[in-house]
Structure 1
Amino acid sequence: MTLWRRDTDSSDRTEPRVYIRAFVQPGTLDDAIGFYERLLGVEADLRTPYPEKGLSLATVGAFLIIEGDDETTRPFRATHGTLLVDDVAGYLERLAAEGAVITDPPIDVPTGVGFTARHPDGTVVEYVHHRPQPHER
Structure 2
Amino acid sequence: MILTTYARLWADDLGAALPLLERLTGQRPALRFVFEGIELAAVGDFLVIAGPADMRARYAHATATVVVTDLDHTRAALEEEGARITTEEAASATGRFLYARHPGGAEVEYVEWTAEIRRKVLGPQADTR
TM bucket normalised to smaller? 0.7 to 0.9
2:107 maps to which residue?
124
CA distance in 1, matches of 2:37, 2:79: 30
How many angstroms does 1:132 deviate by? Answer: 4.6
Tell me, yes or no, if the aligned pair for 1:111 and 1:132 is still in contact at 8 Å: no
Q: Does 1:64 align with 2:51?
A: no
CA distance in 2, matches of 1:129, 1:49: 17
Tell me, yes or no, if the aligned pair for 1:44 and 1:60 is still in contact at 8 Å: yes
CA distance in 2, matches of 1:116, 1:35: 29
Q: Does 1:17 align with 2:4?
A: yes
SS of match in other structure, 1:16: strand
2:16 maps to which residue?
31
TM-align CA RMSD: 1.6
CA distance in 1, matches of 2:95, 2:51: 21
Q: Does 1:42 align with 2:27?
A: yes
CA distance in 2, matches of 1:94, 1:15: 12
TM-score (normalizing by structure 1)? 0.80
Structure 1 moving runs of 4+ over 2 Å: none
Unaligned runs of 5+ in 2: 117-129
How many angstroms does 1:15 deviate by? Answer: 3.3
TM-score (normalizing by structure 2)? 0.85
Aligned pairs for 1:96-135 within 5 A = 96-132=79-115
> 2:65 aligned to 82, 92, 98, which one?
82
How many angstroms does 1:31 deviate by? Answer: 2.2
How many angstroms does 1:61 deviate by? Answer: 0.5
- The structure whose residues are more often helix, as a share, is 2
Tell me, yes or no, if the aligned pair for 2:5 and 2:64 is still in contact at 8 Å: yes
CA distance in 1, matches of 2:28, 2:92: 23
1:91 maps to which residue?
74
Bigger relative contact order (CA 8 A; separation at least 6): 1
